[in-house]
A and B are shown apart, each in its own frame.
Chain A
Amino acid sequence: MANKIEDELKKIVSTITEIPLDTLKPDADFFDDLKIDSMKAIEIVAAFEKKYKIVIPEEEIPKMRSLSKIIAFAKDKIK
């Protein structure tokens, strides 16, 4: 289950950032390393919420700065 979610999230981030799956590093910071804009970051969060029907609290959104952080959050919420 956890691996499936990880794979799905990777795909979402890869699609939105247009970074191929095999080169997408889980710890890369969206802003500092991947240089994506804030609209895309919001799109990633919104796509995650849509996929799992989970609303991420406002105060948590700024913390979602990398794929691994989203995966950690997802693993905690989706049991």
Chain B
Amino acid sequence: MDDKKIVITGIGVVAPNGIGKEKFWDALKNGSSGIKPISRFDTSEFKCKLAGEVSDFKPADYLGEKGLRELDRSSRFLCAAAKLAIEDAGLSITEENTDSIGVCTGTTLSSLWNIAEYDREVIKDGPLFTDAGVFSGTVANAASSRVSILFNIQGFNATISTGYTSSIEAIRYAANFIQSGRVHAVLVGGVESISPASFTGFYRLGFLAGLKGEEVSCPFDRRRNGIILGEGSGVIVLEGEAHAKGRKAHIYAEVKGAASAFDAYKLGKYQPQGKGLHQSIRSVLSRSRIRPEQIDCVQASANSVKEHDRIETAVLREVFAKPADGVAITAVKSMLGESFSAAGLFQVISSLGSIQEGFIPAVVNYTEKDPDCDLHYVTNTLHSRKASNVLISSFGPGGNNAALLLSKYQ
């Protein structure tokens, strides 16, 4: 196996505003937001009420009834997205090729619900009488393992848990596996599900939108004041070029490069100059041999946090000499909320829409200009433009930063 060029051949998505690539892309084109009042748990005691919650999701439609009871919500999201991606790629997994296919998943918060549920039972019924079935879903790699079990994928299985950047790191990790010749194809996923634990945690830390202003996800807007949580899953099939061509697969795009940098500053605080993000973007551009002026679109990490969007703007301003002239900047978290480890995959699948279908989704909810955020954002109305090179940025306050470059396949 010697495949240096990495391509994307399959897409599966379970997003708050659409399930399946067509519905997800349509929602993005229409500026249709998935943010709505939380229905999974009671928010009456909180000031904040909204999340990018996945509703109208019927897992049996994708996975059948049998075995469903064993899967927690995150595993259902990821397995459904994986199923869609496998079908979309036309990838057949057999006894002969199973050792050359892997699974790599980015997730950080997805098992919190089960951990809390398991602990609640320990307290309520006593440690000897917990539900053994819940325990398997308390571990970080539960969802990823379920994909391997369900689809009999035996090449490797890894879970990457670096918070906000996990999806992009998972793509990088999987690409390395393919390039080193260990496997031909990898199902790369990102998944998160909202839970009372994550909601109250971010609420108590003061991270949620609505605590210090309007409860709205409005990246780059002057009114931005925090995140709205999101959930769901995205999965792509990553493949070596020769392998993909060998089986006559449709190629959505090429993964030109990925890079990351760590710039931990203070607990829960962003590195004020965005040093790591800058380094990641510079590094991915140089590795991909793409000049800033060749980038058509930036899928920003912007999540409506004051400092986050300011830093990202400053870094992009530095990288792109005249950003207003060329590059279109968008932020899908305006429609999806901040879904942490799943966010990168949502950005990637949106970018594949830009390359494949020629649209750049708008940053919705943008109404008030902020002098700190003065780039060429695609605001409120859809931008029709075939993108050849899309830069995806991903970072958070923990010090993790990552960048990915997707290009039209030629």
Contact = CB atoms under 8 A, between A and B. Distances in A.
Interface in B117-131: 125-126, 128-131
Interface in B158-210: none
Contact of A55 (B69, B128, B130, B133): B128
B129 A53 contact: yes
Interface string B51-72: 0000000000000001101000
A15 B132 contact: no
B132 A46 contact: yes
Contacts of A42: 132
Nearest to A46: B132
A43 B125 contact: no
Contact of B130 (A16, A18, A46): A46
A1 interface: no
Given A39-B136, A42-B132, A50-B131, A15 B69 contact: yes
Contacts, number: 27
A27 interface: no
A47 interface: yes
B69 A43 contact: no
A50 B133 contact: no
Contacts of B128: 49, 55
Contact of A50 (B67, B69, B129, B136): B129
A47 B131 contact: yes
A33 to B, nearest CB: 18
Nearest to B133: A43
Contacts of A53: 125-126, 129
A55 B127 CA distance: 11
B131 A46 contact: yes
Contacts of A47: 131-133
Contacts of B130: 46, 50
A41 to B, nearest CB: 10
Contacts of A55: 128
Interface string A1-43: 0000000000000011010000000000000000000010011
B132 to A, nearest CB: 4
Interface string B356-384: 00000000000000000000000000000
17 contacts: A16-B133, A18-B66, A18-B69, A39-B136, A43-B132, A46-B131, A46-B132, A46-B133, A47-B131, A47-B132, A49-B128, A49-B129, A50-B129, A50-B131, A53-B125, A53-B129, A55-B128
Given A39-B132, A46-B132, 18 more contacts: A15-B69, A16-B133, A18-B66, A18-B67, A39-B136, A43-B133, A46-B130, A46-B131, A46-B133, A47-B131, A47-B132, A47-B133, A49-B129, A50-B125, A50-B129, A50-B131, A53-B125, A55-B128
